[in-house]
């Protein structure tokens, strides 16, 4: 699944395989004002395995504690916690010519995401820093989002 489509003269790009830590998560609205999606210290881990698996977890670092076991949290506390996170796993495929990676969602925090394809444009800004630009989202959001990730393992 993770095989890259390379032409014979295409320059080699760094690999996405590894574990990545979220550095920033920004969006821009219709007026193109860029702002932090949650806050300026988002939490996140993104894993690409050599055999084509992907796992993503993203969290708003400002989420308040539930004050109870998660299965006993009040509805408002659970809603706040749920709104401050995104997580899913599945497989991925890379188009190195188009510089996109497509995440095929098998399981997710939101059941509505299962079966969706999340397409991300990718650009290495350094060998161990990648920018992922949301091209398609599971919920059809129009806001443009850019996530920057630093590699923590290969």
Domain ranges of the chain: 19-62+76-153
Query: pTM, whole model, 2 decimals?
Result: 0.86
Instruction: Output the average pLDDT for the chain.
Output: 88
Q: Does domain 19-62+76-153 have CATH number 2.40.128.320?
A: yes
Q: In this predicted model, which residue has the larger pLDDT, 130 or 78?
A: 130
Taking only the tens place, the pLDDT of each residue in 98-130 is 999 999 999 999 999 999 999 999 999 999 999
pLDDT band at 4 (very low <50, low <70, confident <90, very high): very low
Run of H or E including 77: helix 75-83
When pLDDT is averaged across residues 51-59 and rounded to a whole number, the result is 97
CA distance 126 to 6: 20
Run of H or E including 104: strand 100-108
């Amino acid at each position: 699944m993770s095989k890259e489509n390379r032409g014979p003269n295409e320059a080699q790009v760094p690999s996405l395989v590894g574990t990545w830590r979220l550095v920033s998560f920004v969006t821009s609205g219709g007026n193109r004002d860029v702002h932090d999606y949650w806050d300026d210290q988002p939490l996140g881990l993104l894993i690409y395995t050599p055999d084509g698996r992907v796992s993503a977890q993203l969290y708003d670092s400002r989420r308040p504690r539930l004050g109870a076991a998660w299965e006993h949290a009040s509805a408002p506390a659970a809603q706040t916690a749920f709104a401050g996170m995104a997580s899913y796993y599945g497989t991925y495929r890379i188009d190195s010519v188009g510089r996109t990676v497509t995440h095929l969602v098998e399981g997710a925090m939101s059941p509505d995401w299962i079966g969706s394809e999340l397409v991300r444009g990718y650009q290495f800004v350094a060998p161990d820093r990648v920018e992922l630009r949301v091209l398609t989202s599971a919920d059809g959001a129009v806001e443009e989002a850019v996530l920057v990730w630093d590699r923590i393992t290969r």
